[in-house]
Structure 1
Amino acid sequence: MARLARNARAYLLSLQGVSERMLDAHLQNWQCLRQESIADLYRALLHHAKNRQGMPNTIGDVARLHGIFFDFDPNQVAANYQTHMDILNQIVAQGVSTAGVIDPNNQRSHWVIYAKAALSAARFLRDFPTAQSFHDFVQSFYVNQHSRLALPLLLKEELFGFGFALACDFLKESGYEGFVKPDTHLNEICRAAGITTAESDFGVFKDVVAYCTEHGLVPYEFDKLIWLVGSGNFYLSKRKLPANKETFIATWMQRAG
């Protein structure tokens, strides 16, 4: 195992209450995340579409919107809504509780952004008749690290409001273990370790996936390892521990072992 991954693991196991079993459950969770239906994939996209600052509190639990989105059938959504305004009107008509009044003229409104994302995601998924056809589509980008880069770039263009990192997060958290999310934890720790000097999320993704390939690491598992160092959020065990990436960088990162 590469030094950074080995020392990150040792650091996490040094935290009170963290066991090998608890840590591995988080690292290997990708094996349980693959969506089994197009409705599940659409629901996952709707969940990730609200993954930006402040929006989770505005939108709330996606499950409560099942009536708006025809039990998460993207074909029905695409067929019944011509514009995002139709979605907003239906939210009002069905009396869905919202944080504040929906202002359709405010293009920075969370609900306007979310409705646009929901419609673009439905139109995108129309091209996939089954979940397996989507899985095959994703797998076709696994040829090499360069082709893998192309998929989040494509999703960034197809899905309204999805940047590169958010597209990566959707893929990673949908059971596609070959992807990482270039967030603040991965970016800062990998730069400090000399794995990347890239300033862009695109560049960090490319360098980290290359690093994982070189050292025989599963990208999802390496990503989750670094994320846990930065966040301390062992969510599967419902435990938030005082992990600290600054402490790790200063005292653990270069340890031999």
Structure 2
Amino acid sequence: MHKSYSEKYKKEFENYLIEFLPTINRKPTQANQMAIDVFYLERNYPQRDFMYWFQSDDTFNEAKEVLDMLFKNRKSYKKSLKDHIDYMSWFKQFLNDNERFEYKTSKNFDDNKKKQSLSDSQIKCQHNEIGYYKIIKRYFYEILPDDVDINEYFNPKRKKDMKEIFYQFCLNMQDYNMMPSVIGFMREDRKIQFSKIFLNYDLKAVVITYTEETLFKKFCNEFEVKNKESKNNLWRRYARSIMDSCVFLSRFANAKDFNDYIESFNGNLDIIYDISSHIRGMGFALACNIIKDLGFVNYAKPDTHTKDVIEAMGYLNDDVSVIRAIQNIANENNDTAFNVDRMIWLICSGYFYNENIRVGSHKKDLIQRIHDYR
């Protein structure tokens, strides 16, 4: 099971759709979204191998009709959580009501690929979560410096008021690619400036005071902003994400209301899709990171470190697979996905940031131990 399987095959399917969509009067620009949709369906309904369905001569016309139905009904649903669930429920019911769409195995079906279904039962049969967990934990304590208080790194507490939650969004929304070095939210010389700009993180006051454009102008007045006219200006993108975050968070009366809402998903990834669909600039991994850092320990961030380590264990390394794998490892060891994620990150980065201690990356050694164990 390698990275090439999930990403390469999804890309091949997208390329196939680019040629196929015009035959049913659909724009080829919709290929990417439909590839994601169908890939998502395959993962959540592993008994049906949708993408292989299109490659079988016996079922090609049926698959074509199903894809056409998917397109028609997708227009009826927006990207809110409720509509997403309704959309998936509709598709499942559609298949149940139409027995003639039963999947038939292609003559060229690769049995090895069939094993890569992501149902929890199959994952537990194919992997040794207890053994991998022991390797990670043992290695973590081997590299742990004496002066580090590990209690500060694990089991984060929930935020008690909306100011804390909004602050976390402001922090995380600049935590990808080149954003931290440009925005510099955590720079000592900018902390007071950001607090003033965001009105002491008063969510309602920010919504009343700013628009996306006026917030961007405020940034330009306070900081040295280059390429102001560019649509891709990082400060402009940050302003957009902050205002979207304000609108999203305004749905909740208080921190308890917000926490109860997130908690109601109990580790389900639908909450990630919900948040990322409301806030521009927030991808899947970034949404995972925010939820994790807000104290919801059933979630992990699928970053380059966790992906490489999880792939070494034999899992697929796309975002969804990585989170599910970490959740399974945590559940089998009475720990949290947050703690497993944090141990992997500290080992791979070698950076204990609270004490500003660097011990160097140990990712290669950790991966080697996993390979030796397998």
Q: Which of the five TM-score ranges fits, normalised by the shorter chain?
A: 0.7 to 0.9
Instruction: Give a deviation string over 1:8-29, Cα, whole Å, max 9, x none.
Output: 22223323x635x94742552x
Q: Percent identity?
A: 22
- What code does the residue aligned with 1:40 have? E
* Correspondence for 1:200: 318
Higher relative contact order (CA 8 A, sep 6+): 1
Instruction: Give the whole-Å Cα distance in 2 for the aligned partners of 1:248 and 1:234.
Output: 17
Unaligned runs of 5+ residues in structure 1 are none
Aligned counterpart for 1:47 among listed residues 168, 171, 179: 171
The 1:243/1:11 distance shift into structure 2, 3 A limit, reads: farther
SS of match in other structure, 1:114: helix
SS of match in other structure, 1:14: helix
Aligned counterpart for 1:246 among listed residues 357, 361, 364: 364
TM superposition shift of 1:67? 2.3
* Correspondence for 1:165: 285
* Contact 1:69/1:77 (8 A) holds in 2: yes
Of structures 1 and 2, the larger Rg is shown by: 2
TM superposition shift of 1:77? 1.7
- What code does the residue aligned with 2:357 have? R
Aligned counterpart for 2:250 among listed residues 99, 110, 126: 126
* Correspondence for 2:334: 216
Instruction: Give a deviation string over 1:172-206, Cα, whole Å, max 9, x none.
Output: 11111111001111111111112x22x42122212
The 1:210/1:14 distance shift into structure 2, 3 A limit, reads: closer
* Contact 1:7/1:253 (8 A) holds in 2: no
Instruction: Give the whole-Å Cα distance in 2 for the aligned partners of 1:254 and 1:213.
Output: 24
**Structure 2 length normalisation: TM-score?**
0.60
The 1:42/1:139 distance shift into structure 2, 3 A limit, reads: same
Instruction: Give the whole-Å Cα distance in 2 for the aligned partners of 1:240 and 1:79.
Output: 43
* Correspondence for 1:68: 197
TM superposition shift of 1:216? 2.2
**Structure 1 length normalisation: TM-score?**
0.85
Instruction: Give the whole-Å Cα distance in 2 for the aligned partners of 1:76 and 1:239.
Output: 38
Map 1:1-257; keep pairs closer than 5 Å.
2-15=130-143, 18-19=145-146, 22=148, 24-25=150-151, 27-28=153-154, 30-31=155-156, 33-61=157-185, 63=191, 64-82=193-211, 84-92=212-220, 95-98=221-224, 100-101=225-226, 103=228, 105-142=229-266, 145=267, 148-194=268-314, 196-197=315-316, 199-251=317-369, 254-255=372-373
Instruction: Give the whole-Å Cα distance in 2 for the aligned partners of 1:26 and 1:192.
Output: 28
Instruction: Give the whole-Å Cα distance in 2 for the aligned partners of 1:139 and 1:87.
Output: 31
TM superposition shift of 1:72? 1.2
TM superposition shift of 1:125? 0.9
Instruction: Give the whole-Å Cα distance in 2 for the aligned partners of 1:12 and 1:252.
Output: 14
* Correspondence for 2:66: none
Aligned residues: 241
TM superposition shift of 1:250? 1.4
The 1:101/1:242 distance shift into structure 2, 3 A limit, reads: closer
TM superposition shift of 1:88? 1.5
